[in-house]
Structure formats: structure tokens, C-alpha cells
Amino acid sequence: MADLTTIAAVKSYAGVTGSGDDSQISAIISAVSSLIAGQIGHDYEGNAVTAEFHTAPFSGSIILRKPAESITAVRVSGSTLAAAGYRLSDGRLLTRLASGLPTVWSGSSVIEVDYLTVSAVPVDLELAAREIGAFVLKQSSLPGGGSRLGLSAQANGDTGSADYFVQALKQLPVSRMALRNHRPFA
């Protein structure tokens, strides 16, 4: 899982100048990155997806489950389409073409798509991770050393803390917009 932001960015956003909390901030960034990836269904590792299956849609387009950087192959009922037989738009919308124009997939088709996922973190997600990281850092530095978010419990899979965390991050303005923009089927 790739981290969506850096220690320096979170420290700057949170107004932290010392380096004594760097290991805690690093753990926060990893937790935040994992939770965002879970919310949007993509980890920005740039992995290859082989044979993502779809049934023929009623239109000439299908929505890929993860944002694609490039299409490796599109097979319709086992036959590979030529590169001129499809177009990728906005990283997720795959449209079938005939003579360069959108066309409907055959009703009984099974569509297999091979593609390379996007590895560059979008700016709004990096800003959301920075905002959430700063929020968590401030919450985990309560008087007496306590943490409302129970970050260490959350890192160990405590679903109660994770649920609280997800609800809290949905209230932050940048993260709320970024999650809406990047959810596959929002």
C-alpha cells in the first residue's frame, strides 16, 4: 500500500515543527492511506489487473473497478478487440467503438479487460490524506496522552475505532469531496 502523503506535508498542515513525533505521524499516514484505499477501492500501487470480467451492458460503455492508466487487452467472448475497437475515458469508462463511433456491446457478451492501474496519487486525495493525517495527529495528542480515535487499536483492526475514524474523516471538507470524487460507484 502506497502512502498517499508525506510526514513533512502532514506536519506542515498540523503546524508541527519538531521531529519527535515522526514515527507516530508515519503510522498515522499508513493508517490513513489504508483507510482511504478501502473507501475508494484503489491503492495507487500501479498494479496490473488481468481479466476483470463484465457482462455486456445496455450501453456501449462499462465502468472499470479501478482507475486505469492504460488498457492492455479487451476480449469480448474470448476474441481480442483491436485497439481501435475501444476507448478509455477518465480512467474508468471503457467504450466500445465501431468505425470510431460508440456502439452497444452484444447482449450475450462476456467482456474481459486487462489494464494497468493508475499509480500517481491524485492531488485531491493527497490533500485529503494530509488533512486527515493532521486531524488524527491532533486527536491523538490529547492532554494526558489519550486518543479519542484509539489509533493503535485501529491499526490492530478494532472495528469500533475504525468506524469512528471513517465517520470523522467524512466530516472533513477536503476528504469528503475527495472521497465523493473517487468512489467507484458513488
pLDDT of 153 above 60? no
* Angstrom distance (rounded) from CA 170 to CA 154: 17
Of 129, 131, 158, the residue nearest 43 (C-alpha):
129
Contact (CB, 8 A) for 46 and 121: no
For residue 120, the SS3 value is coil
Phi and psi at residue 91, to the nearest 5°: 75, -15
Of 150, 54, 148, the residue nearest 105 (C-alpha):
54
* pLDDT value at residue 141: 58
* 96-126 tens-digit pLDDT: 998 889 998 877 889 999 999 998 888 988 9
CA atoms within 13 A on the CB side of 21: 21
The mean-pLDDT minimum among 17-21, 62-66, 76-80, 151-155 falls in: 151-155
* pLDDT value at residue 36: 84
* pLDDT value at residue 38: 82
* 163-186 tens-digit pLDDT: 666 666 667 888 888 878 877 654
As a whole number of angstroms, the longest Cα–Cα distance in the chain is 68
* pLDDT value at residue 181: 82
What count of residues does the chain have?
Answer: 186
* Angstrom distance (rounded) from CA 176 to CA 167: 10
* pLDDT value at residue 140: 66
CA 3 to chain centre: 11
* pLDDT value at residue 48: 94
DSSP 143: G
For residue 96, what are the β-bridge partners? 86
pLDDT of 154 above 70? no
Does the pTM surpass 0.75? The reply is no
Higher-scoring residue by pLDDT: 148, 166: 166
Cell reading at 23: 514515527
C-alpha torsion angle, residues 160, 33, 31, 66 (rounded to 10): 50
Angle between helices 123-139 and 159-169 (to 10 degrees): 120
Query: Who contacts 32 (Cβ-Cβ below 8 Å, separation ≥6)?
Result: 4, 5, 129, 132, 133, 136, 169
Phi and psi at residue 60, to the nearest 5°: -90, 10
